[in-house]
């Protein structure tokens, strides 16, 4: 018996999935959950709509090729388990328009929460009746010939904010790797040993801190300024289970509430230990420690 799964996807990765007729996930455990014959419904971020339904027609395979947009941007393998698909239906099924009839979304006011995680809907399949509704809505609302018309361009904040009195001003939101490097440098200021892209099972943590080089990580960091918070929290949870590390999720104001919601639900075991940190705090701490270190060096303290 087949199941129907919702996955949220960026516009860039949606185009790649359609072009290559594939789908991919980060964790091997999902390959046993989402199986051949199941249907994947892609909700495309920025459009407010379900846009593509695909059927899984192959078996999951491991690949170390960087193919997805965020993999290439971050230059690291994020979704190694891939599967062949066929497109069943495409079109625009706007969530707000069909929201009253979607039974899997119980909290209609906070419907965006049901599109977090991998798969979405808190890792649960949706009812066949919802699938049929989405399918028929797509069929009656075809995609435009130029899909770029429905994809909003990614915008970066261009406002200049002062980090702290005496600190350097920061222009916009730093890139993923810039924040990672700041966390790495903060460790040096704090007298700790830092490593980036630290392996844990088949995954990698953005940054870890250790007391001694041969020891286990005492602090683990995932920088998630957009994308899949479920996967980031999964890696932090692994580290918390395995090494009793202190888990830190670095994110933006926009996503803090969603991350807290996940900690209250799927990751409730570590909610008392996990820290959700606004990226601005990391920048602020880095700038202050850097300035303090420069002053110490200047006065030879």
Mean pLDDT of 194-201: 90
Q: What is the set of domains in the chain, with CATH numbers?
A: 4-149 (3.10.590.10), 160-298 (3.40.1350.10)
In whole angstroms, how far apart are CA 122 and each of 112, 115, 244?
A: 12, 8, 25
pLDDT of 260 reads 84
In whole angstroms, how far apart are CA 107 and each of 7, 50, 115, 131?
A: 18, 18, 12, 18
Q: H or E segment at 284?
A: helix 279-298
Is 159 a residue whose pLDDT tops 50? no
The gap between the terminal CA atoms of the chain, to the nearest Å, is 70
pLDDT of 261 reads 84
pLDDT band, residue 141 (cuts 50/70/90) = very high
In whole angstroms, how far apart are CA 261 and each of 4, 69, 198, 278?
A: 24, 27, 26, 16
Helix (H/G/I), strand (E/B), else coil: 130: helix
* 33-56 pLDDT tens trace: 999 999 999 999 889 999 999 999
Is 235 a residue whose pLDDT tops 60? yes
Query: Is there a contact between 5 and 56 (Cβ–Cβ < 8 Å)?
Result: no
Point out the least confidently predicted range of 62-76, 102-116, 157-171, 206-220: 157-171
Backbone angles phi, psi at 273, to 5 degrees: -100, -25
Point out the least confidently predicted range of 48-57, 97-106, 133-142, 148-157: 148-157
Query: Is there a contact between 280 and 173 (Cβ–Cβ < 8 Å)?
Result: no
pLDDT band, residue 58 (cuts 50/70/90) = very high
pLDDT of 226 reads 67
pLDDT band, residue 110 (cuts 50/70/90) = confident
**pLDDT above 70: percentage of residues in the chain:** 92
Mean pLDDT of 114-120: 86
Is 281 a residue whose pLDDT tops 70? yes
* 227 φ/ψ sector (left φ>0, alpha ψ -120 to 50, else beta): left
């Amino acid at each position: 018996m087949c199941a129907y799964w919702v996955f949220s996807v960026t516009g860039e990765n949606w185009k790649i999935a359609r072009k290559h007729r594939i789908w991919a996930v980060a964790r091997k455990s999902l390959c046993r959950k989402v199986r051949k014959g199941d249907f994947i419904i892609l909700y495309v971020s920025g459009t407010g709509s379900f846009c593509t339904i695909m059927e899984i027609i192959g078996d999951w395979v491991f690949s170390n090729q960087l193919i997805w947009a965020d993999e290439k941007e971050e230059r690291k393998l994020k979704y190694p388990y891939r599967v062949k698909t066929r497109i069943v239906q495409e079109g625009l099924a706007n969530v707000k328009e069909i929201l009253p009839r979607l039974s899997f979304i119980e909290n209609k006011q906070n419907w965006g929460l049901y599109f977090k995680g991998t798969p979405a809907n808190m890792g649960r399949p949706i009812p066949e009746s919802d699938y049929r509704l989405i399918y028929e809505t797509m069929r009656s609302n075809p995609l435009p010939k130029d899909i770029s018309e429905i994809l909003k361009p990614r915008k970066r904040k261009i406002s200049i904010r002062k980090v702290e009195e005496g600190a350097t001003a920061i222009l916009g939101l730093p890139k993923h790797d810039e924040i990672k490097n700041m966390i790495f440098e903060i460790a040096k200021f704090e007298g700790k040993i830092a490593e980036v892209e630290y392996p844990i099972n088949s995954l990698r943590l953005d940054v870890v801190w250790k007391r001694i080089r041969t020891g286990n990580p005492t602090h683990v960091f995932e920088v998630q300024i957009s994308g899949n918070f479920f996967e980031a929290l999964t890696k932090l949870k692994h580290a918390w289970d395995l090494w009793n590390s202190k888990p830190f999720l670095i994110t933006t104001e926009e996503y803090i509430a969603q991350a807290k919601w996940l900690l209250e639900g799927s990751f409730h075991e570590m909610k008392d230990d996990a820290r959700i940190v606004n990226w601005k705090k990391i920048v602020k701490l880095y700038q202050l420690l850097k300035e303090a270190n420069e002053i110490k060096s200047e006065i030879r303290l």
